[in-house]
Amino acid sequence: MPTVSSAYLSNYAETCIALGAPAQKIYALVPGGRTALDQPDERFAADVVVRVLDAAAEFTGNETVGLRVGMQFRPASFLDVGYALSSAGTIKQALEINTRYQALTQEIVRTSLEISGGLARIRCAPALPGVEAMRRVMEAVFAGYATIGFWLLRDHGSPIEAMQFRHRDPGPACREVYETLFGKGVKFGAKEDMLVFRADLVVRPLPGENQALVRLLTERLETRLAALEEGVSLPEKVRNCLHMQMGRGRPGMAGTAKLLGFTERTLRRRLSAAGVSFADLLQAARKEAAEIYVREGKLSLTEISHATGYSDQSAFVRAFRGWHGVSPGAYRRALSAPPEES
């Protein structure tokens, strides 16, 4: 049975609620309810996404709810996978990252890219049966690709040549939303679900390129992909919980234990049995997060200090110097310096 991550399902649920679907009714469709969506390593059957979208359409009377959910997607919606996408050098590299690590966020569709004849084609093969049953999911997925593509390119025009859906035409009342997002070349009843755009856009340099950050993130993603296939260990679950708490306040034992459904005493005992301490995992998570933020270069040191849970900037700088032997500022300057000629 294909599954989706809690973060992926949460994107759908929260956006449907923002569009007017009653929160209580939407959360009732999620096994474990709202609390389960806060568990970073929780996985849900992919058909829950279908039920959430169908319910939102029924409650709101909005037949384009799938499109509207996808239009709210941003790279940050997909956590580390999204951070890697936003640091890619080209759309082609971003799609390769997405394809490689797609299962970490969702297994409801499988994406592929083909480039030929001056055109690029993104195809999505659904993992669940039923063309009409999957209609809203496919619309959300392709709306997300279009929206994130515009965001990465910093081009909010319409470079899309054609959009093909297998499902039936929903009627003229919905046409404006489709054409606003995909342009005039939207076709229904096609043989496959496919988005077509100019091939030159695939290799156009992206303004947010940061290959050092891509390498750092893909190393982490490889570890998470292996864990998904083999089963996530408790220490890895704790580190994932800590990363989820970064930026929301100071991550700590109490909050982490609550997210995992343990008491603090039980969590401490189980980590001890696994040969690690919570303090060591917290330090490792802070180090990983700090390096990502510093390499990304978008936050000030004060903002990074807060995001990683330090009481003030000086405490963060001392910790960073202990990890890397230099201050965060010197580390950032070294990253941006041109390589020395041999």
pLDDT in tens, 87-106: 999 999 999 999 999 999 99
Alpha helices in 231-327 (DSSP H): 234-245, 253-260, 264-273, 278-296, 301-307, 313-324
Whether pLDDT at 267 is above 60: yes
- Spatial CB neighbours of 208, under 8 Å, sequence gap ≥ 6: 86, 87, 88, 152
Annotate 101-112 with b (16+ C-beta within 10 A) or e (fewer).
Answer: bbbbbbbbbeee
pLDDT digit string (tens) for 43-66? 999 999 999 999 999 999 999 999
Given a cut of 90, whether residue 233 has pLDDT beyond it is: no
Q: Rounded mean pLDDT of 126-147?
A: 94
At 307-338, the pLDDT tens digits run 888 888 899 999 999 998 999 888 888 776 55
Mean model confidence pLDDT for the chain: 88
Phi, psi (degrees; rounded to nearest 5) at 160: -80, 130
Single pTM value for the model: 0.78
Give dist(CA 135, CA 309) in Å, integer.
Answer: 42
What is the pLDDT, as a whole number, of residue 342? Answer: 43
Q: Per DSSP, what are the bridge partners of residue 110?
A: 125
pLDDT at 234: 84
Q: What percent of the chain stands above pLDDT 70? A: 96
Q: Which residue ranges form the domains of the chain, and what is each CATH number?
A: 3-203 (3.90.1520), 233-336 (1.10.10.60)
Per-residue pLDDT, 158: 60
